[in-house]
């Protein structure tokens, strides 16, 4: 399907969806589990019709297509507010559908935002030819009250990493500085790749990179430096990565809160707790357990 056909299809889809919502807002609200939000759904219907008309009326409707992407994010937020248990079940199904539609919207938006169609088709899923390229550094630092040699030994055993890195499922040491990694991908997928150590200085530094052909192209360095005043070790982490799916993968990851720039600082707090206390603090299963921290600003930061 070429970009113009895809855009026109989305335009008519927007108009049809908007009309259905405006004709029967209460029925649609009940179907997706947000019965108490039928008035908001009417506004969604108007938005869909306006967006659809905008897409169909322009030859290069990139701004209208990106408007659909923004609308998808708003719709997911609305569905996440389903108040009842049965409503949340229906809303969960609707969120999965909206997520699939959002993927198509992103594809169409990127196609119409790039002048060279060939470059777009290639870079959309690989990240090649984009300016800036879909390869970004993640830098994080934390001080751990343990000697560098102890932290180094723990980190060097890569099979320990899934104990505190929430996105990792497993890491297997395959010998000769090589390892096999399994991780959670965007929207519930699983991804595997192989990596090798490129530089190693005991108790000081570990550098690695993924091997050619990896679905997740990445490289990074971990440095272990003594903290001033003998107060443990400063752990520096620098990660370069190309998210699976290029632009699409990066956008979906951010949409579902799985971006490495937000994961890594949290993971470092977890390894600090693990090394200093022997366990990672959790309120799971406790009568006063919280679903969020005591800082609203911190929770908001994690969600953005």
* Polymer length in residues for the chain: 304
| 23-32 pLDDT, tens digit each | 988 888 888 8
Stated pTM of the model: 0.51
| 153-169 pLDDT, tens digit each | 999 999 999 999 888 89
Peptide bond into 132 cis (omega under 30): yes
CA separation for the pair 78, 303 (Å, rounded): 15
| 56-82 pLDDT, tens digit each | 887 778 888 888 998 888 888 888 877
| 30-60 pLDDT, tens digit each | 888 877 777 888 888 899 999 989 888 877 7
């Amino acid at each position: 399907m070429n970009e113009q056909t895809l855009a026109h299809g989305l335009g008519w889809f927007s108009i049809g969806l908007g009309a259905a919502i405006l004709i029967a807002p209460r029925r649609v609200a009940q179907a997706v589990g947000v019965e108490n939000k039928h008035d908001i759904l009417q506004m969604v219907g108007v938005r869909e019709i306006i967006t659809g008309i905008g897409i169909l009326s322009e030859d290069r409707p990139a701004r209208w297509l990106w408007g659909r992407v923004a609308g998808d994010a708003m719709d997911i937020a609305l569905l996440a507010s389903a108040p009842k248990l049965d409503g949340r079940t229906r809303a969960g199904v609707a969120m999965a559908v909206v997520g699939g539609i959002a993927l198509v919207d992103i594809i169409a938006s990127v196609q119409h935002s790039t002048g060279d169609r060939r470059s777009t088709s290639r870079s959309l899923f690989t990240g090649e030819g984009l300016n800036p390229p879909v390869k970004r550094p993640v830098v994080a630092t934390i001080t751990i009250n343990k000697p560098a040699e102890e932290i180094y030994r723990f980190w060097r055993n890569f099979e320990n990493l899934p104990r505190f890195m929430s996105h990792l499922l497993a890491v297997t040491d395959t010998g000769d500085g090589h390892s096999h990694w399994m991780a959670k991908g965007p929207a519930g997928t699983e991804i595997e790749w192989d990596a090798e150590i490129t530089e190693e200085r005991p108790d000081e530094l570990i550098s690695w990179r993924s091997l050619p052909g990896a679905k997740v192209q990445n490289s990074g360095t971990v440095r272990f430096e003594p903290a001033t005043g003998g107060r443990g070790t400063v752990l520096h982490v620098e990660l370069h990565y190309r998210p699976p799916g290029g632009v699409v993968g990066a956008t979906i990851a951010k949409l579902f809160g799985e971006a490495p720039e937000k994961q890594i600082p949290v993971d470092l707090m977890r390894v600090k707790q693990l090394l200093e206390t022997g366990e990672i603090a959790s309120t799971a299963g406790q009568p006063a357990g919280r679903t969020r921290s005591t800082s609203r600003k911190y929770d908001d930061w994690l969600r953005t």
